[in-house]
Chain A
Amino acid sequence: MSASVLYEAQGPRAKARNVVYTAVFLVAAAVLLWWVYSSLKEKGQLDWAMWSPFFGSESWTTYLLPGLQNTLLAAALSLVIALPLGAVLGIARLSDHAWVRVPATVVVEFFRAIPVLILMVFCGEFYYLYTGVSSDSRPLYAVITGLVLYNASVLAEVVRAGILSLPKGQSEAAMAIGLRKSQVMRVVLLPQAVTAMLPAIVSQIVVIVKDTALGGYMMTFPELLSSATTASSFYGANIIQSLTVAAVIFIVINFALTSFASWLEKRLRRAKKSTGVTLAPDGGADQSAFAAPGV
């Protein structure tokens, strides 16, 4: 249902009312912004000296870019590992054999129920106590393991929902022509499900990128957010400014990813070859009760 059916075409009175609402809203926003601006200025947070380091190349090459590289590295590695793992778990949950289905279900439900931060803290200590991973790469390993365990479970649900979203006739027809169960999955169901799942997968990348920041503050993983903090201890404790810069970088990356996801979704909807079904990136209610990644 499109938004416009919720109200009548606007007559002169409604338009006048709109202008009033807009004005009130604008004034409220302006007052709030002015208060923030003037308080920040009064506290010296807007002084050029606090911001200037981030407009030179030094701060970027020393702190921000290495941090960004670590963020992207952790996110990319997590995705590359979590994707196949999630696919396997998702398919296993659809298995006809209880001994495959039940453990997969338990694993998926378990890791979806536990906070990523707790997983990371646990993994970090686990690697320290029981493995020979050097202290350099331990935070990276812990962050990636935590992200993989959680996101593989979420992606498993995406895969499962994607396969279930296909018309039943697809697998029935495939079985009717004599394909084995594994062939039905590999040749018929998965290729179609992948197109339906792509937007949901892309938007899950946003979640992964955001969650790497958990590793920075609690796990001493030198990702973007924590290297911005290191920068702030050098540039005179301009922590608000460093955090703002880090936030802007996160928004730019993730906005590019979400835009890509919605472009992909539109594209897939129009493509004739697919079933036309896509999983909504978040909220996920396009086909009602799908797994809702993206929070």
Chain B
Amino acid sequence: MFDFLEGYDLLGAFWATVQLTVYSAIGSLIWGTLLAGMRVGPVPLMRAFGTAYVNFVRNIPLTVIILFSSLGLYQTLGVDLGGDGIVQVISFRLSVLGLIVYTSAFVCEALRSGINTVPVGQAEAARALGLNFGQVLRLIVLPQAFRAAVAPLANVLIALTKNTTVAAVIGVAEASLLMKEMIENEAQLVLIGAVFAFGFVCLTLPTGLLMGLLGKKVAVKR
């Protein structure tokens, strides 16, 4: 029944999806946290930049961002991210970059909502101890904000997993590109659809459940 899978690197394609997800998740967590820091920080210009960045990026389709990173950054400006001239490697890194640029805007918003749940007294007490902005944020507010933001961050992570399919537009050999190829060559449409749906359910459902458990475990009891 599953003969049609022969000759296709299904696991390889999903492995590419997983890699895209993991690298982009790490990158966008870092960049998103920095953005959130800028948005609540004391420097007006950085605040303005953070706000503008988020409003700008989340209103553009991801397809456009990924096309720009390939056509603009690589094909025009010559940025190959140290890909050593190997097309597949470069496309992969560029799509990770595109995914980070896009996802970090949502990470930033999730974190900001997490920061909003931290009681004012926490920061006031920290300031009374003489901590400066960086210390207040790093030692007091962010650790609590992250705990509160686990649920929205989980949603962002799940969305990111699904968004990696867009990397297909610049030819990264991940799951959706393979699915399109298989659909063109094989007859068992429903089975192919089921296989890929199952693959994504396997990736996203456990993520949701694990993050849910984590969220409960680390929640700040108030």
Partner of A295, one of B59, B106, B122, B133: B106
- Could you tell me the dominant secondary structure of chain A's interface residues? helix
Complex CA distance for A239 and B72, rounded to whole angstroms? 9
CB of A177 within 8 Å of the partner chain: no
Residues of B within 8 A of A126 (CB): 189-190, 193
Give the residue name and chain of the B residue nearest to A239 (CB).
B71
Whether B123 pairs with A1 at a CB distance below 8 angstroms is: yes
Known: A6-B133, A118-B200, A285-B113. A216 touches B63 (CB 8 A): yes
Please name the residue on chain B nearest to A206 by beta carbon. Answer: B59
**Contact residues in B for A122 (Cβ distance below 8 Å):** 179, 183, 189, 193, 196
Residues of chain B from 121 to 152 with CB closer than 8 A to chain A in the complex: 122-124, 127, 132-133, 136-137, 141, 148-149, 151-152
A280 to B106 Cα, complex, angstroms: 13
Contacts of A251 in B (CB 8 A): 56, 59-60
Cβ of B155 under 8 Å from chain A? yes
How far is A15 from B157 in the complex, measured between Cα atoms in Å?
38
The reply on B67 being an interface residue by CB < 8 A is yes
Bound CA span A250–B55, Å: 12
Residues of B near A118 (CB, < 8 A) are 165, 175-176, 179, 193, 196-197, 200
Contact B71 A1 (CB under 8 A): no
- For B12, the chain A residues whose CB sits under 8 A away are none
B74-93 CB contact bits vs A (8 Å, 1 = yes)?
Answer: 00111000000000000000
A176, CB-defined interface residue at 8 Å: no
**Known contacts A129-B189, A214-B166; A6/B45 CB under 8 A:** no
Inter-subunit contact B166/A117 (CB<8 Å) = yes
Q: Is the CB of B71 within 8 A of A243?
A: yes
Indicate if the CB atoms of B136 and A6 lie closer than 8 Å: yes
- Residue numbers in A under 8 Å from B60 (CB-CB): 210, 247, 250-251, 254
Nearest Cβ on chain A to B20's Cβ, whole angstroms:
12
Q: Is the CB of B42 within 8 A of A14?
A: yes
Which one of B124, B158, B201 lies within 8 Å of A5 (CB-CB)? B124
- For residue B58, which residues in chain A have a CB less than 8 angstroms away from its CB? 206, 254, 258, 282, 294
Is A284's beta carbon under 8 Å from chain B? yes
- The interface-forming segment of A35-43, A56-64, A88-96 is A35-43
Q: At the interface, yes or no: B30 with Cβ under 8 Å from chain A?
A: no
Q: A126-B189, A255-B55 are in contact. Are A240 and B162 (CB under 8 A)?
A: no
**Residues of B close to A254: CB separation below 8 A:** 58-60
Q: Is A172 located at the chain interface by the 8 A CB criterion?
A: no
Q: Tell whether A109 pairs with B205 under 8 Å between CB atoms, given A7-B132, A40-B77, A218-B180.
A: yes
Say whether B45 contacts A289, CB under 8 Å: no
A258 to B72, CA, bound (A): 27
B100 to chain A, nearest CB (A): 14
| Across-interface contacts of B163 in A (CB, < 8 A) | 115, 295
> Across the A-B interface, how many residue pairs have beta carbons closer than 8 Å?
204
**Residues of the A chain whose Cβ atoms lie less than 8 Å from the Cβ of B127:** 5, 7-8
B172 to chain A, nearest CB (A): 13
How far does the alpha carbon of A22 sit from the alpha carbon of B205 in the complex, in Å? 43
Rounded to whole angstroms, the CA-CA distance of A117 and B159 in the bound complex is 12
Looking at the assembled complex, report how far the CB atom of A74 sits from the nearest CB atom of chain B, in whole angstroms.
13
A125 in contact with B148 given A114-B200, A118-B200 (CB within 8 Å): no
Residues of B contacting A217 with CB < 8 Å?
Answer: 63, 169
Assembly CA distance A3 to B38 (angstroms): 11
Whether the Cβ atoms of B64 and A243 lie closer than 8 Å is: yes
Q: List 22 A-B contacts (CB under 8 A).
A: A8-B127, A25-B43, A25-B46, A39-B76, A40-B77, A110-B197, A113-B204, A118-B200, A122-B196, A125-B189, A126-B190, A210-B62, A243-B64, A247-B60, A254-B60, A283-B106, A285-B148, A286-B116, A288-B148, A295-B106, A295-B155, A295-B160
Q: List 20 other contacts, CB 8 Å, given A122-B196, A210-B61, A285-B152.
A: A1-B117, A2-B120, A5-B123, A6-B123, A6-B136, A25-B46, A39-B76, A110-B197, A113-B208, A114-B197, A115-B176, A121-B179, A122-B189, A126-B189, A213-B61, A255-B59, A258-B59, A283-B152, A284-B155, A286-B116
B residues with a Cβ closer than 8 A to A are: 39-46, 49, 55-56, 58-64, 67-68, 71-72, 76-78, 103, 106, 109-110, 112-120, 122-124, 127, 132-133, 136-137, 141, 148-149, 151-152, 155-156, 158-160, 162-166, 168-169, 175-176, 179-180, 183, 189-190, 193, 196-197, 200-201, 204-205, 208, 215
